[in-house]
Amino acid sequence: MTRVALFHTVAALTGRFEELADEYLADAEWYHVVDESVLDDMLDAGELTPNVTERICTQLALAQRGGADIVLDTCSSTSPAVDVSRKLVDVPIVKIDDPMTERAVEIGDRIVVVATAASTLGPSKDLVERKGEEAGRDVTVETVLVDEAFEARRAGDLEMHDELVSEAVEDFADDFDVVVLAQASMSHLESSLFERTSVPVLSSPDLAMEHIAELVSASP
């Protein structure tokens, strides 16, 4: 049976992905790998340092040694480290934002990337632009940081987090063709934001797990 490793930098997201794994990965074995220290150190440094990149690569390599046939990296901020890891690991490593950003460039040319963590903005914007180039699309990508929402969530105030993100998206959504929620921690707002803005709003977890399920089905 195919084994899938889910690599997280936020332990609180494991419950959400357990629900998704039960839904999408009935034909596979799966397990979590969690290292919150890499995201904490990225936030402290304000960038993805060589030390953090090396540690992420180590975690993803260990996932393969642990028997994983497929690895899903659920952290948007670590996207550049996945590019390095793919040169070192022999099994497929999927970035959580890969399917979402591919869908975004299919939907429209004016795309806004919304994040609550500054470390996510650069990697997510770069990924959307890269997917646009690969698809032969001339896309314009803007970014919006709602850092107050990040602090609210860290303080345990999910209601304030949701209110801040929702208000921010409502303010600018009509200027774009599609809104991309750059972190899995905002995914629960996808449907309500679409209703409040009437603009397509994309989040990553479901699309990523659908893609992983496709890879599992295609596995020998």
Token pair recorded at residue 156: 């345990």
Q: How far apart are CA 21 and CA 74, in angstroms?
A: 13
Q: What is the model's pTM?
A: 0.88
98-203, what's its fold? Rossmann fold (3.40.50)
Query: How many CA atoms are closer than 13 Å to the CA of 59, on its beta-carbon side?
Result: 26
Chain position carrying tokens 């020998």? 220
Q: How far apart are CA 56 and CA 58, in angstroms?
A: 5
3-96+206-218, what's its fold? Rossmann fold (3.40.50)
Per DSSP, the three-state class of 179 is strand
Domain boundaries, the chain: 3-96+206-218, 98-203
One fold for both 3-96+206-218 and 98-203? Answer: yes
Q: Kindly give the confidence (pLDDT) of every residue in the chain, 220 residues in length, as a single tens digit, with 9 standing for 90 and above.
A: 999 999 999 998 899 999 999 999 999 999 999 999 999 999 888 889 999 999 999 999 999 999 999 999 999 889 899 999 999 999 999 999 999 999 999 999 999 999 998 888 999 999 999 999 999 999 999 999 999 999 999 899 999 999 999 999 999 999 999 999 999 989 999 989 988 888 999 999 999 999 999 999 988 7
